[in-house]
Structure 1
Amino acid sequence: MVTMGKKVDQEQSYYSDWAHIDHGVDADGRATELRPLALSRPHTQAFHLAWLSLFACFFAAFAAPPILPALRPALVLAPADASAAAVGSLSAALVGRLAMGPACDLLGPRRASGVASLVCALALALAAVYASSPAGFVALRFCAGLSLSNFVANQHWMSRIFAPSGVGLANAVAAGWANVGSAAAQVVMPLAYDLIVLRLGVPITVAWRVAYLIPCAMLITTGLAVLAFPYDLPSGCAYAGGAKRAKGEGFWNVVRGGVSDYRAWVLALTYGYCYGVELIMENVAADFFRRRFRLPMEAAGAAAACFGVMNTVARPAGGVASDEVGRRFGMRGRLWALWAVQSTGAVLCVLVGRMGATEAPSLAATMAVMVACGAFVQAASGLTFGIVPFVSKRSMGVVSGMTASGGAVGAIVTNRLFFSSSRYTVEEAISFTGLTSLLCTLPVALIYFPRLGGMLCGPSESATVDHDGHDDDDDVNKDDDYMLLK
């Protein structure tokens, strides 16, 4: 215990020492701005480890859809099996993210992230080796979907090592760059499969299993790298295993601090229909382009990748916008920006479905509208996680987990309502998804922070304690309010 206590002191000192030599670090050792090229800073090192680890998770989670034409004969898949497997993947993401929130609060995001990557790599490898039926395919996608729990650890880590003035951008860039892993899978997996079959002569029933060595190797490499990183968080943010937690700050108190906050539930709902829309599109886009425009597997994967690759700039842009309107207009600006951007993305989603339903749709025009839809949907995700860190300081991991899980729930519900039924064509299902997103964005108007305000009214002058009665413990503290508003 003494040894662990010394390690915590070293971690705190490692971050806080930068406050004396780096003007971009506050007194608590948190970075006030994102500097991706300043590789000597511990904050930048943690940032790159976090997004690369999550990149591998997204690659693994979406490795199957682009090679579905090869998987169908190998595993004797019926048309309904692909939808069932997608639900299995999303259900795994939901379960994993709900569990990851408390794990981050109690153990720390670095340890939780690294262990999750290694466990998912092992499970995915076993599923790829033994899958031989539709049930095996569902198991394969379930194991891959579990890796998406790392999204919570990613956002939690960034929210702790970046100050409020830069947390929106840091969260958005880390998640945005990581989300490109889904686009990379759309391009890399078909090419790898063809290389294994055509160049190496591997039988088709074995080739897809060999291709799955790529996501497994990525998960193992990034998981070990995260665990090898010696420092977790800035001073004042130490974790269990040597750190002294506040009295009564046990598991259930941490969980209760998140689930009892209505704002976390509203953010989970709205995130369900920005990131949830993204999950749906990444699952159906390749098949949509193959069927509607008769594209070969590689071309359809490349077309579908255009949606996901927008994460490179769109989600970071949402984070930048959140921080900028926060500085100018406070929390009211952040909330209005989220509502406006997500509503625009929802309208574009409706338009994608309507264009695809025309008698002779234009591939170029459909792709252009889909890319624009992706840009607004992903920017809305960045704007959402520009608000999440202000909900609860003590239960940040739980709130992050609830919000992130909302994305999986939204995708699961939408899949079951519109995409798993023969009542609707894919084009009609996409349009209904957009309409649902438009409706589920309206509750953003209900979010209110006593010291920060909401969409429709300003802060309360009488607010002197946090929303749950804890002085500067669960809501952002007064210095954070000042940094947000100035």
Structure 2
Amino acid sequence: MEPPVPSKPQFSLPVDSDHKATQFRLFSLSPPHMLAFHLAWLSLFSNFFSTFSIPPLLSLIRSDLHLSSSDIGRAGIASFAGSIFSRLAMGPACDLFGPRVASATLSLLTSPVVLSVSLIQSPLSFILVRFLIGFSLANFVANQFWMSSMFSSNVVGLANGFAAGWANVGSGVTQLVMPLIYSLLTNSFQIPTSTAWRAAFVVPAVFQAVTAILVLIYGQDLPDGNYSKKSKRSSSTGSGKNFFTVLFTGLKNYRGWILGLTYGYCFGVELTMDNIVAGYFYDRFGVNLESAGALAASFGLANVASRPGGGVVSDKMGRRFGMRGRLWGLWVVQTVAGLLCVLLGRVETLWGSVVVMCCFSVFVQAASGLTFGVVPFVSKRSLGVISGMTGSGGTVGAVVTQLLLFSGSNQFSTQTSISLMGLMMIVCTLTLGLIYFPKWGGMFCGPSVEPISEEEEEDYFLLE
């Protein structure tokens, strides 16, 4: 008697041959595709909220701990340096263990570090804590990997854009919320200033831990199940992935290095601005703590629409012009962002700076969305490694920019440094012209091979 044929899984969304969703329904919670989306962005949102919960209270922390400009600059660099190697490691971890376990584990390990901000007593401990908290930003790689595992190529740019864009809003919300929590503790509960800012960090620490637990309980790595089951099937058939094969396949792909560089000067610039923008308005234009936080929040809050907008543009350009459209769209948007960044440093008035900053935020965040509209096409075998390389490039760019221009030890004013950062964006974006895919072409050249079938496309991805 023949064994019964297993029934095909049923999904609430239309799917392709890999069971990846071919539609993206933003306000649906249907498992596994849209539920994974909402868990992914909410978890990463909490990581951004935690990482950038310190800058809006920095004027208080600076006074309490007697921090110098150099201490603050080093701490800003440390907050990004912490995520460079963790992002590189997160890529292979997602390839081998799945985004769900990788993401939740890192969030649970770093949430006690967020809570430890309330215990710091010296400049050195302040720098160390910022370094360790920065590790949580590696969850960005898991976020993008998860979306690329759940959504088909026709909507992957949109899914990646919304998942990262809504998550990045955490960097803006924390600029607004942390000063409000501090004010609530001091005004309503009469808690002393030096105690109130420390107690405020209970909120991001608990929030991050709760979202990690939700990911573990309700998340699913792939449309057909979790990586733990997949690994058992692979080992029984002898088709499991080898760590070093996955790693070196990704590292040998030059496209990942170029995307890492360009991402360093869109998302890396965004991270730098999140670190400096509240202090910039506070010091240069003399606004109060709450107003500086609100102005800084407007920069991060633009991610609600701008980064997803970049994903939409990437998908539409891809449908109309192929890979050439995705690359040209990224180059144009990121170059405009660089020009606006140059202008931001030249504006002399408060409201003029606010207007230019808002325009700049839209373009620089859209460029990040456009970047991850290209990433899923670089390598299917080593998707996590390429995502990690690109994501790490974002934090490397932030570290280099902070070190060269905002470390507190250079001779440039903050406004001049902002303009120089814009020039760096424009120059680094030129390297996109070097990216070429034999099957799809590049910015200046068409494909060098004939169109291929869906089965051959799978082989093409695996060879990359």
Question: Do both proteins adopt the same fold according to a TM-score greater than 0.5, normalized to the shorter chain?
Answer: yes
Q: CA offsets per residue over residues 416-465 of structure 1, 9 Å max, x none?
A: 11112331000110000000010000010111111111111111125879
Between the aligned residues of both structures, percent identity stands at 49
Q: CA offsets per residue over residues 157-216 of structure 1, 9 Å max, x none?
A: 000100000000000000000000000010001111121122212222221221001110
Partner Cα separation in structure 2 for residue 465 and residue 104 of structure 1: 28
- What root-mean-square deviation, in Å, do the aligned CA atoms of Structure 1 and Structure 2 show? 2.1
Partner Cα separation in structure 2 for residue 451 and residue 422 of structure 1: 46
Q: Which amino acid aligns with 2:207?
A: M
Q: Which amino acid aligns with 2:286?
A: R
1:461 counterpart residue number: 449
Contact 2:32/2:223 (8 A) holds in 1: no
1:439 paired to 2:427: yes
Contact 1:445/1:455 (8 A) holds in 2: yes
Partner Cα separation in structure 2 for residue 474 and residue 283 of structure 1: 39
2:58 counterpart residue number: 68
2:163 counterpart residue number: 174
Shift of residue 470, structure 1, vs aligned partner: 8.7
Contact 1:335/1:454 (8 A) holds in 2: yes
**SS of match in other structure, 2:345:** helix
Match of 1:330 among 306, 322, 337: 322
**SS of match in other structure, 1:474:** helix
2:268 counterpart residue number: 276
Q: TM-score, normalised by structure 1?
A: 0.89
Contact 1:17/1:29 (8 A) holds in 2: no
Q: Which piece of structure 1 moves more, 429-438 or 241-250?
A: 241-250
Q: CA offsets per residue over residues 249-271 of structure 1, 9 Å max, x none?
A: 31111110111000000000000
Matches within 5 A, 1:321-400: 321-355=313-347, 361-400=348-387
**SS of match in other structure, 2:153:** coil
Shift of residue 236, structure 1, vs aligned partner: 9.2
Q: Which amino acid aligns with 2:342?
A: V
Q: CA offsets per residue over residues 103-154 of structure 1, 9 Å max, x none?
A: 10000001101111111102222x3243100011112212221110100000
Contact 1:391/1:474 (8 A) holds in 2: no
Match of 2:217 among 214, 228, 238: 228
Partner Cα separation in structure 1 for residue 251 and residue 279 of structure 2: 37
1:25 paired to 2:15: yes
**SS of match in other structure, 2:373:** coil
2:207 counterpart residue number: 218
Partner Cα separation in structure 1 for residue 18 and residue 443 of structure 2: 30
Shift of residue 219, structure 1, vs aligned partner: 0.6
Shift of residue 34, structure 1, vs aligned partner: 1.1
Q: Which amino acid aligns with 2:421?
A: T
2:44 counterpart residue number: 54
Q: 1:157 to 1:262 in 2, by over 3 A?
A: same
1:6 counterpart residue number: none
Contact 2:36/2:219 (8 A) holds in 1: no
Partner Cα separation in structure 2 for residue 120 and residue 105 of structure 1: 21
Q: Which piece of structure 1 moves more, 385-394 or 190-199?
A: 190-199
Q: CA offsets per residue over residues 322-341 of structure 1, 9 Å max, x none?
A: 00010000000000000000
Matches within 5 A, 1:80-479: 80-125=70-115, 127-229=116-218, 231-235=220-224, 238=227, 241-244=231-234, 247=239, 249-355=241-347, 361-420=348-407, 421-461=409-449, 471-474=459-462
Contact 1:447/1:454 (8 A) holds in 2: yes
Partner Cα separation in structure 2 for residue 99 and residue 343 of structure 1: 30
Partner Cα separation in structure 1 for residue 105 and residue 136 of structure 2: 10
2:3 counterpart residue number: none
Partner Cα separation in structure 2 for residue 38 and residue 238 of structure 1: 24
Q: CA offsets per residue over residues 387-423 of structure 1, 9 Å max, x none?
A: 0000010110110011011011011111111112331
1:34 paired to 2:27: no
Partner Cα separation in structure 1 for residue 463 and residue 45 of structure 2: 30
**How many residues in Structure 1 have an aligned counterpart in Structure 2?**
453
**SS of match in other structure, 1:471:** helix
Partner Cα separation in structure 1 for residue 112 and residue 162 of structure 2: 28
Q: TM-score, normalised by structure 2?
A: 0.94
Q: Which amino acid aligns with 2:167?
A: A
Partner Cα separation in structure 2 for residue 120 and residue 408 of structure 1: 17
Contact 1:419/1:426 (8 A) holds in 2: yes
Q: Which piece of structure 1 moves more, 399-408 or 203-212?
A: 203-212
Gaps of 5+ in 2: 1-5
Contact 1:465/1:472 (8 A) holds in 2: no
